[in-house]
Amino acid sequence: MSERRTAIVTGAARGIGAAVAKRLASDGLAVGVLDLNADSCAETVEAITSAGGSAVAVGADVSDEASAEAAVEKVAAELGAPTVLVNNAGITRDNLLFKMTVEDWDSVLGVHLRGAFLMTRAVQKHMVEAKWGRVVNLSSTSALGNRGQVNYSAAKAGMQGFTKTLAFELGKFGVTANAIAPGFIETEMTAKTAERLGVPFEDFKAFNAKEIPVQRVGQPEDIAHTASFFISEGAGFVSGQVVYVAGGPRD
Ligand SMILES: NC(=O)c1ccc[n+]([C@@H]2O[C@H](COP(=O)([O-])OP(=O)(O)OC[C@H]3O[C@@H](n4cnc5c(N)ncnc54)[C@H](O)[C@@H]3O)[C@@H](O)[C@H]2O)c1
Q: Which domain holds residue 87?
A: 6-183+218-244
CA-184 nearest atom, ligand 1 = 3
Atom of ligand 1 nearest to the CA of 63: 31
Report how far ligand 1's centroid is from the alpha carbon of 85 (Å): 15
CB 189 within 8 A of CB 92: yes
- Write the CATH number for 163: 3.40.50.720
Quote ipTM for the complex.
0.99
Residues with a CB atom less than 6 Å from ligand 1: 10-11, 13-17, 35-36, 61-63, 88-91, 111, 115, 138, 140, 182, 184-185, 187-190
Q: Kindly state whether residue 195 falls inside one of the protein's structural domains.
A: no
List per-residue pLDDT tens for the chain, 251 residues long: 457 899 999 999 999 999 999 999 999 999 999 999 999 999 999 999 999 999 999 999 999 999 999 999 999 999 999 999 999 999 999 999 999 999 999 999 999 999 999 999 999 999 999 999 999 999 999 999 999 999 999 999 999 999 999 999 999 999 999 999 999 999 999 999 999 999 999 999 999 999 999 999 999 999 999 999 999 999 999 999 999 999 999 87
From CA 236, how far away is CA 200, in angstroms rounded? 43
* Closest to 152 measured CA to CA, from 187, 99, 106, 200: 106
Q: 172: CA distance to ligand 1 center in Å?
A: 30
**C-alpha 65 to ligand 1 mean position (Å):** 19
Q: Cα–Cα distance between 98 and 59 in angstroms, integer? A: 35
- Asked whether residue 65 is domain-assigned, the answer is yes
Dist. CA 60–CA 57, nearest whole Å: 10
* Overall domain count for the chain: 1
Is 83 in contact with 24 (CB distance < 8 Å)? no
In a domain, 210, yes or no: no
Within-domain flag for 115 = yes
What does the alpha-carbon distance between residue 14 and residue 148 come to, in Å, rounded to a whole number? 24
| 18 CA closest ligand 1 atom index | 16
Is position 121 within any domain?
yes
43: exposed, middle or buried (Cβ count in 10 Å: 0-12, 13-18, 19+): middle
pTM score of the predicted model: 0.98
